[in-house]
Structure 1
Amino acid sequence: MDSEKFIFCLEGVPDIENNFVTQVVKNLEEIAIDQGIASIYKTCDTIEGLEESLNVLLYEDHNFKDYEIIYLVMPGGPNNICLHDYYYSLEEIAELFEGKMKGKIIHFANLKVLDLNDEEAQYFLDITGARAISGYGSSYNKIASCSTIDKAFFSLYQENDDITEVVEELYQKHYALCKLLDFRLYY
């Protein structure tokens, strides 16, 4: 592999004015120290904040091409996210990201269920230009994916460009957790 793959993490929080360190920040710091994977972390509490953060990354960060994983840690229901008590469907998110995610992997933490049929997944990939979308079919809240499986997923992807091989290896090494959380990949 020629270059590192960085992570851009957007976490949905109730209020961005409350400045506190979340478990996600701690896990990203551990990933940086233990695995040498760099990341940018931002919070948002509205859809406008999500869009603004994305635009800053796209148009002002000259290293955007290095951020291959867009990591969304946001609550919600099946196939939607919730920001500031408003629910946004994945179709709305796809339109927000329209054409901006070329070659990226958009990964959702298990705070929401990702359960797409083939048509929905293809629509999301076609509209965004993303290489893949991944997440979990279970929002089993006793285990936060950001502290376990997500770390393993990011580490394995750092070592291998073939996303299907990464998922196969993830299942081999962490089968019980992958099954419990129902890890999913659409590509």
Structure 2
Amino acid sequence: MNDNHYLYCLEGVADISVPNKSLILPSLENLASHYGVTNVYKTCDSLEGLEESLSTLLYEDRHFKDYSILYLVFEGRGNQITLDHYYYTLEEIAEFFEGKLTGKIVHFANTMQLDLEEESFQYFLDVTGAKAISGYGNAVPVLSTVLDNLFFALYQEYDEVTELVEELFRQRYALCKSLGFRLYY
């Protein structure tokens, strides 16, 4: 595959006015320097900030078409992200992105456990047009950045998601199993 896949990361934080020590940002810098994956990093601390960041991405970012992966780093449970004490469901996220994610992968860090029934993930894919949705089903105290970065780097080589996941499991089977890596397509 010749085209690079770009990544857009949006992280939920407690307060954007306070400098935070993000564990994701150094990981993204490593991703860029070691794997050549171009990425953009943003933070938000409220539902309004989330919607504003996503609107800017969709309607003002001239490189939106180049982003192949949306990397969402939010606390959450029950297939819902938590932001400023508000639960935002995957269905609400799907409706926000209605028809705008054609060919893209939406990947959640393991800060939110992802465990979708077929009806739920199919709804998300149908409404958004996304190629796949991925994340982790197991609650573990370790952040998933090591496996996330490998997943993003391998996507540079494997455009077919089933081949991508097979290679990810081949290289890091124990980590995939312990984190409960999942890909819905």
TM-score normalised to the size of structure 1?
Answer: 0.96
Q: Cα offset for 1:28?
A: 0.2
Tell me the equivalent position of 1:46.
Answer: 46
Tell me the equivalent position of 1:134.
Answer: 134
Tell me the equivalent position of 1:182.
Answer: 180
User: C-alpha distance in 2, partners of 1:90/1:47?
Assistant: 14
Tell me the equivalent position of 2:163.
Answer: 165
User: C-alpha distance in 2, partners of 1:96/1:15?
Assistant: 23
Q: Gaps spanning 5+ residues in structure 1: where?
A: none
Tell me the equivalent position of 1:89.
Answer: 89
Q: Which amino acid aligns with 1:9?
A: C
- 1:110-154 CA distance string (max 9 Å, x none): 00110001111100111111110000011212x1102x1001100
Count, aligned residues: 185
User: C-alpha distance in 1, partners of 2:79/2:124?
Assistant: 11
Q: Which stretch shows the higher mean deviation, 25-34 or 50-59?
A: 50-59
Q: Cα offset for 1:21?
A: 3.7
Q: Which stretch shows the higher mean deviation, 78-87 or 51-60?
A: 51-60
User: C-alpha distance in 1, partners of 2:7/2:78?
Assistant: 24
User: C-alpha distance in 2, partners of 1:8/1:70?
Assistant: 5
**Which residues of 2 match residues 4-23 of structure 1 at below 5 A?**
4-23=4-23
User: C-alpha distance in 1, partners of 2:3/2:65?
Assistant: 11
Q: Which amino acid aligns with 2:159?
A: D
Taking only aligned residues, the RMSD between alpha carbons, in angstroms, comes to 1.0
Q: Cα offset for 1:62?
A: 1.5
User: C-alpha distance in 2, partners of 1:186/1:24?
Assistant: 23
Q: Secondary structure, in 3 states, of the residue corresponding to 2:92?
A: helix
Residues 3 and 156 in structure 2, CA contact (< 8 A), matched pair in contact too = no
Tell me the equivalent position of 2:151.
Answer: 153
Q: Secondary structure, in 3 states, of the residue corresponding to 2:75?
A: coil
User: C-alpha distance in 1, partners of 2:158/2:143?
Assistant: 24
- 1:62-121 CA distance string (max 9 Å, x none): 211110000000000120000001111111111122122111100000001100011111
Q: Cα offset for 1:2?
A: 2.7
TM-score normalised to the size of structure 2?
Answer: 0.97
Q: Gaps spanning 5+ residues in structure 2: where?
A: none
Q: Cα offset for 1:20?
A: 2.6
User: C-alpha distance in 1, partners of 2:62/2:2?
Assistant: 18
Q: Which amino acid aligns with 2:77?
A: G
Q: How much identity, in percent, do the aligned residues show?
A: 57
User: C-alpha distance in 1, partners of 2:174/2:69?
Assistant: 24
- 1:137-179 CA distance string (max 9 Å, x none): 11212x1102x10011001001111111010110011000100
